[in-house]
């Protein structure tokens, strides 16, 4: 069924196009769509744009997990997907441990752009560069048992408008880090207005 639809799709495709703009500009537009809506309009106007730069826009929440961990009704085998993904809403990548299930590092190369406002990573080993790519637009991020690079220096500076309760919680976290006898991570630098430099 899927192959039949694919054949029908390619059957009416014309590889040679006559554009009113130079090919270099068309190529730039093709490879650098400004928004997902622009890209959707492009592929609706001409199949050429999808065939030359196939991107699947995912407007719903995307859960990537092993079957026994988060059993959602629609399963996708990412090994068989040749198109890039444009994530719009939420992305949740989960596994039981770092060696089992899906790894964020194996999914990132398949993503064209991540506009997700919510990111959840569970039991992941991820580089800082990959995290920045996935979290470029997030408003809420959850890192549950996710391991950061032990050689990366992390600095967290909070704005002056955070509440006293928030400051108190940050001070508790700082005290926990200082008092820990064994640390398998590089100590982060945390700062906010009114904290003791010590």
pTM, full prediction: 0.68
For the chain, what percent of residues have pLDDT higher than 90? 20
Distance CA 100, CA 102 (A): 7
pLDDT interval class at 68 (50, 70, 90) = very low
Contact 134, 119 (CB under 8 A): yes
Contact 59, 88 (CB under 8 A): yes
The β-bridge relationship of strands 118-122 and 90-94 is parallel
For 6: left if phi > 0, alpha if psi spans -120 to 50, otherwise beta; the answer is: alpha
Averaged pLDDT for residues 49-55: 90
Distance CA 31, CA 97 (A): 36
Nearest partner of 111 among 131, 134, 128, 90, judged by Cα: 134
For 123: left if phi > 0, alpha if psi spans -120 to 50, otherwise beta; the answer is: left
The region of weakest confidence among 44-53, 89-98, 117-126, 134-143 is 89-98
Asked if pLDDT for residue 115 goes beyond 90, the answer is: yes
Cβ neighbours of residue 74 closer than 8 Å, sequence gap 6 or more:
none
Mean pLDDT of the chain: 80
pLDDT interval class at 96 (50, 70, 90) = low
Averaged pLDDT for residues 159-175: 89
pLDDT at 87: 92
For the chain, what percent of residues have pLDDT higher than 70? 78
Asked if pLDDT for residue 180 goes beyond 80, the answer is: yes
Nearest partner of 103 among 67, 138, 64, 72, judged by Cα: 64
Asked if pLDDT for residue 70 goes beyond 60, the answer is: no
Distance CA 102, CA 154 (A): 26
Distance CA 38, CA 43 (A): 9
Asked if pLDDT for residue 149 goes beyond 70, the answer is: no
Averaged pLDDT for residues 10-18: 66
The region of weakest confidence among 75-79, 81-85, 113-117 is 75-79
pLDDT interval class at 61 (50, 70, 90) = confident
Question: According to DSSP H, which parts of the chain are helical?
Answer: 2-11, 23-31, 36-45, 47-52, 104-107, 128-134, 164-179
């Amino acid at each position: 069924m899927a192959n039949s639809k694919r054949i029908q799709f390619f059957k009416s495709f014309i590889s040679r196009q006559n554009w009113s703009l130079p090919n270099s500009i068309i190529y730039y537009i093709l490879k650098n769509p400004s928004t997902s809506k622009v890209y959707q309009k492009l592929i609706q106007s001409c199949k050429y744009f999808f065939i030359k730069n196939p991107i699947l826009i995912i407007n719903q929440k995307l859960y990537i997990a092993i079957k026994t961990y988060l059993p959602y009704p629609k399963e996708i085998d990412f090994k068989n997907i040749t198109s890039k993904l444009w994530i719009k809403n939420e992305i949740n990548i989960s596994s039981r441990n770092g060696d089992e299930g899906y790894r964020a590092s194996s999914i990132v190369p398949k993503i064209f752009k991540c506009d997700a406002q919510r990111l959840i990573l569970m039991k992941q080993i991820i580089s800082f560069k990959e995290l920045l790519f996935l979290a470029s637009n997030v408003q809420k991020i959850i890192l549950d048992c996710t391991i950061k690079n032990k050689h990366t220096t992390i600095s967290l500076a909070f704005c002056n408008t955070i509440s006293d309760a928030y400051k108190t919680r940050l001070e508790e976290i700082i005290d926990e880090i200082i008092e820990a006898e064994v640390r398998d991570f590089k100590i982060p630098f945390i700062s906010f207005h009114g904290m003791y430099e010590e």
